[in-house]
Structure 1
Amino acid sequence: MARTLSDEARRILGLFEDVTGATGLDCLVYDDRVVVLVARGDMGEAIGPGGEHVGEFEERLGTDVKLVEDATTPGDFVANALAPAAVYNVTVSENGDTVAYVEVDEADTGVAIGADGRNIEAARALARRHVDVDDIELT
């Protein structure tokens, strides 16, 4: 899967790696926040002690940052992308399009969707780019 990063996204990933010491694999840039895909196993380093690393990164960027950890399976990837929502199960179905059906704790449905749908849209964008999932639907 070829992914094209804008100059701004490449600059942000470089800053992310300099500040946190973790590996950033992808970056989605929105008006009000940045979503960084972090290499599997690097999330602790990205966050840092007491949130120190991600806090400094947010301060230097001047915007909110959401970190998503990469995963080895599409189901785990989608669950990570929807965190901190409690995801019970992810079923990936391929009938023409590949759709991930996600069972989320009822109390966390709003967290998974996010304000104006921003969390689920970011999860969909990352899933399309990294695990060939065309859509994510909450059940």
Structure 2
Amino acid sequence: MTVTLSDEARQYIGAFEEETEATAVDCLVDDEFDRLVFVVKAGEMPKAIGEGGETVQHLEEEFGRDVELVEDAPTAEGFVANALSPAAVYNVTISEMGEEDETVAYAEVAHEDRGVAIGKEGRNIKAAKELAKRHFDIDDIQLT
């Protein structure tokens, strides 16, 4: 699936890649929660985070926004699990249902991590849903 980026997102990705030397495949500009969510190429998270998280901290100072990272994955199931991180996700099942053939990801999350998966004011689950839609055409994510 092709992700279309705004000019603003492309500028953030350019600055991110220059600072981290990691590849960002997407950038969600979330004005509601004043943050940027970068989807980082699989295997490049250590470069993106930096030792002790120093690279992310520097980016937050540079951008004046919170910076969050999601590791890309080759499958929809892996991507949804990564998008809900750091919540412990045991299993993700993708199914199509309803008259409209809506694609829904059912994520089995540890009971004690449901709050982490949802996030304050729903911020984590909202970002996961938007990114899953953009990358795998998933219409909804349900926690089980």
For Structure 1 versus Structure 2, the TM-score category normalised by the shorter chain is over 0.9
**Match among 92, 99, 106 for residue 101 of structure 1:** 106
> Once the two structures are aligned, what percentage of the paired residues are identical?
63
Greater alpha carbon shift after TM alignment, 50-59 vs 61-70: 50-59
One-letter code aligned to 2:30: Y
1:37-67, Cα deviation, whole Å (9 max, x unpaired):
0011111110111112111111111111110
Q: Which runs of 5+ in 1 are unaligned?
A: none
What is the DSSP-based 3-state SS (H/G/I as helix, E as strand, rest coil) of the residue aligned with 2:68? strand
Matching of residues 25-64 of structure 1 within 5 Å: 25-31=25-31, 32-64=34-66
Shift of 1:2: 2.9
Structure 2 residue 88 is the aligned partner of structure 1 residue 86:
yes
Using structure 1 for the length normalisation, give the TM-score.
Answer: 0.96
Q: Pairwise CA RMSD of aligned residues?
A: 0.9
Matching of residues 106-121 of structure 1 within 5 Å: 106-121=111-126
What is the DSSP-based 3-state SS (H/G/I as helix, E as strand, rest coil) of the residue aligned with 1:111? helix
Q: Which runs of 5+ in 2 are unaligned?
A: none
Q: How many residues are treated as equivalent by the alignment?
A: 139
Alpha-carbon distance in structure 1 between the residues aligned to 2:73 and 2:135:
10
What is the DSSP-based 3-state SS (H/G/I as helix, E as strand, rest coil) of the residue aligned with 2:37? strand
1:90-126, Cα deviation, whole Å (9 max, x unpaired):
1111221111001111111111011111110100110
Q: Which residue of the partner structure matches residue 134 of structure 2?
A: 129
CA contact (8 A) 2:2 2:135 kept: no
What is the DSSP-based 3-state SS (H/G/I as helix, E as strand, rest coil) of the residue aligned with 1:71? coil
Using structure 2 for the length normalisation, give the TM-score.
Answer: 0.93
Runs of 4+ in 1 over 3 A off after TM superposition: none
CA contact (8 A) 2:92 2:106 kept: yes
